[in-house]
Chains A and B, each alone.
Chain A
Amino acid sequence: MIVSWNWLTEYVRLDMNVEELGERLTLSGLNLESISDVGGDLAIDVEVTSNRSDCLCHVGVAREIAALHGKRLAIPDPRLAEKGKPVAELTSVAVEAPELCSRFTARVVSGVKVGESPWWLRKRLETIGVRPVSNIVDVTNYVMFECGQPLHAYDLDLLEGRRLIVRRSRPGETIKAINNRVYEVGPDMLVIADAARPVGLAGVMGGAETEIRDTTRTVLIEAARFDPIAVRRASRALGLHSPSSFRFERPIDPEATMWASRRCAELILQTAGGTLHPGVIDRDATKPRSTVIRMRSNAVERVLGIPVDPVLARDILARLGLRQTAEDAESTSYEPPSWRPDLEREIDLVEEVGRVHGYDSVPQDRAIALVSTAVAPRERIEAQVRETLAALGFDEAVTYSLVEERLAAPLGAPDGPALRIEHQSRKRESYLRRAIAPSLLVARAHNEARGRGEAELFELAQVYLPRGDALPDQPPRVSLVSGRGFREMKGVVETLAARLHCAERVTARPAELELLERGRSAELWLGADLLGHVGEISSRSRAEFDLKGPCSTAELALEVLEAHARPVPLLRPPGLQPAVARDLSLVLERDRPWSELEQTVVEAAGAILEAVEYLDTFRGAGMSEAEESVHFGMIFRHLERTLTGEEVERAVEAVVAACHRRLGARLRA
């Protein structure tokens, strides 16, 4: 809201400098945005919060200044000289939708001469950034910026039937608005119509066909109040926003309507001449508001934490226009003024006292009681995951949760479509993703395109899995992309699980996934829980994502990691006795999963086997085409004593025998 310094002086004496005034307003609720010099006047831009629509006008801001500085407020009383035919003989108004129009008033001025406004009027409008149009239109604008009540002026001679009807729109109706564009009036919108057609969108914009023009002789002045929600819906639906609709979308002081109508007539007579016809048409369905608010004497201290002198508190409320209605030992009752519909409860009055008294007096040295806090398991896991992946060379990324459709698919089998949001600003990127990896692939491609082909990224974020009528399941995931191969990425996951002290080992099963290369992708499990997926991006997918280099991904369920992680590892004896290492190369049929061989080794070697480690696979001399040789190492150790050579030999022989028996394996010659 921009106010003019000179204009304000009409209502309140300003004997401070403008910076002082701005500071005071800022610290009591009207935040100063800027002060600028406009041809000798000062335009003061203050931010008005949505609860304070009473300050969307000069009188309102002046009233606030008067209350803050303890000054007198002078509001002019319009003086009207009426003559000629009574208004009721010249026009009529019917309100057919009183639930959307609580008051509609009309006055008529005839014999006006439309022309340029006087200098003072143009000057004031220009200071606050409003372009002068003509005396009649300027006056309606001036009065709106003076008291907050929007007005509209019609050329009465152009109104079909010389009357107005306030009603809901009819199917197929259109209106040419004063911006000269034709709008289809939406269903159930409130219109102002004459006998034939809509001539205004109530509260939003007037019609071009009945607006004031140079030839206008007879003016109908409308001052009305409409339902704020209806105005907001209409203005949003049509994309039409004006200073009028902005004010109509908020509460307007009910006392301002009739004042505005009188003030407007007065200023039209002053600036355009003519005759004001006696009387006013007033369709008033305003519900009387009677609010009495009881404020207990300890209320302010209970909220602010400091006592405020009750005399001072009472004075502040009186300056703000509240009328004291009753008082007893514990409380005082007040009736708020008509322009403050936001004051309804005790807490509202406490805030008024607090903000005018000033929050600078609220101390900041209170002792805050100690309480113990614990780090929740989820937080701890997230921190450990981040720290581990960073140590493994991955940079953390943050990508958008709203993505285009192709990035919203889960890694596994999709079950139905992704959730979508509905907003005109995000028509394409409107899907709630069910996997993070596709977004990370986009980020990797972005880096590749900028010559940073080595982007190794991870992200922790929620995914959104539809659940019918309920809120979606929103499990947290950790996802990675990398240029590493399958086994390296699987190794990252294994290291991560080990770092979190997961009790069980990560196991893998081959999987076929949309994004990943067949034969190079797997489901990962922790015990009986599906941990996630790992694999190399297929060449087809790489082309889709514009990725040139090799690329792999893994995506894991954080909840599964959390469930299997042990916050505190319990020490196992570290095994201080000497270890004995043995390697074996076994020839067996090709493509037998290592996991089978490993399991056989573990079971056959007995308790002294500490670890078994895959080394490599060899194909070629010394075996058939259908065979391969798997080379692996074993570490043997006894926790309490040195192993004898015989014990180790027996274990190795048992391993060889079991592998032969179960897998048909033989020692490589």
Chain B
Amino acid sequence: MNATDSLESALADLEALRASGRSALAQAQDSAALEAARVEHLGLKQGRLKTAQERLKSLEPAARRDYGRAFNEVKAELEQALEDARNRLAHATVQVEPVDVTLPGIRPRIGRLHPLTLTMTELKNIFGRLGFSVAQGPEVEDVWHNFEALNIPESHPARDPLDNFYLAAGAGIGQRAMLRSQTSTVQIRVMEKQPPPVRVIAIGRVYRPDTVDATHSFMFHQIEGLMVERGATMADLKSVLSLFAQAYLGTEVKIRFRPSFFPFTEPSVEVDMLWHGKARWVEMGGAGMVDPNVLRAVGYDPEEVSGFAFGLGVERLCMRRYGIDDIRLFYQNDVGFLRQF
């Protein structure tokens, strides 16, 4: 009567295999135990699953289909259980030390740009949006560009050697050259090179023999704007500076012109600004209509074109912006200062 096996007992054994396999795999605490459980249940040669598979042959043909279906189910389930157990053990072996999350982060060092650079970049961007391109010129200039062409003749007191850094007499170019005392020199260089219309700003270092103190430096930075075209007027100048003031200081800002004197502009004005929360007008720079003599000096016809120019001190703008009260801090390059920007 043992010629054929009964389906019931075969299915019952299969069910026992499922339970035993699941429990052995799930309870294995290390890879050796897991390997033992795998060999016992899923081993290719003598594993219990292999035996259960072979039992198929001892069943009556009619029972084989049901048994086969049940076998495949158990096999898939144990294989999944093995996979799960492997994953569990793989991650369990990594011992994770907890961190004190309140410790400070480890910061990568990033350098900072100089506050004067930040200010100059802001100014360039604002004037760039207003259609001004950046022009460059040399810091060591000849007296033609620094004075003569700017309507400052030889007899003018501004040319006094006490008020300027002329190169020492002697070899080479000597006293015909100097450290520029204003960025207006760049206006001349631009107009000498290109016909109107012109819309440029020049920005950079200028030099004057002021005694160094909290508000004076013998080297400082200026930004100078120039616009020359047919029919430019003081109203255009005021409009451009007003747009600038609104972009730099906010829409609440007001500007006013006070008459002044510069050899290279006429009329010449000081530009004052009054912005939200301030009680007093603050002088921001000088401006004016380009003097006809300057236009003539570069070969423009003052009857055909007119223009305006303005100049602002970068240090002054920067000091106001960041609450810096001593101009010397800019050039000491103490990282305690530099790293605040």
Contact = CB atoms under 8 A, between A and B. Distances in A.
Nearest to A447: B335
Give the interface size class of chain A.
35 or more
A150 B196 CA distance: 47
Nearest to A464: B140
B239 A365 contact: yes
A402 B114 contact: no
A389 B111 contact: yes
Interface residues of B, number: 85
Interface stretch (A178-186, A298-306, A609-617): A298-306
Nearest to B164: A423
State the main secondary structure of chain B at its contact with A. mixed
A641 interface: no
Contacts of B219: 400-402
A27 B258 contact: yes
Interface string B254-286: 011111110000111110000000000000000
A421 B234 contact: no
Given A355-B267, A364-B235, A422-B169, A371 B131 contact: yes
Contacts of A488: none
Contacts of A424: 162
Contact of B111 (A376, A378, A392, A464): A392
Nearest to B254: A364
B60 interface: no
Interface stretch (A2-10, A213-221, A449-457): A449-457
A501 interface: no
A50 B157 contact: yes
B168 A401 contact: no
B236 interface: yes
A472 B140 contact: yes
A421 B179 contact: yes
Nearest to B199: A371
B252 interface: no
B173 A469 contact: yes
Contact of A402 (B166, B168, B207, B238): B207
A29 interface: yes
A360 interface: yes
Contacts, number: 252
A464 B173 CA distance: 13
B95 interface: no
Contacts of B136: 376, 378
A366 interface: yes
A26 B162 CA distance: 29
B32 to A, nearest CB: 35
B117 interface: yes
A347 B291 contact: yes
Contact of A29 (B218, B259, B333): B259
Given A365-B239, A393-B111, A443-B333, A419 B267 contact: no
Interface in B224-254: 231, 233-236, 238-243
A363 B111 contact: no
9 contacts: A303-B233, A351-B266, A359-B234, A374-B133, A375-B128, A390-B112, A423-B164, A469-B172, A472-B173
**4 smallest A-B Cβ distances: which pairs?**
A305-B235, A305-B233, A49-B261, A29-B259
Interface of A: 26-29, 31, 49-52, 228-229, 232, 236, 249, 302-306, 345, 347-348, 350-351, 354-355, 359-360, 362-376, 378-379, 383, 386, 389-402, 417, 419-426, 430, 432, 440, 443, 446-447, 450, 452, 454-458, 461-462, 464, 466-472, 474
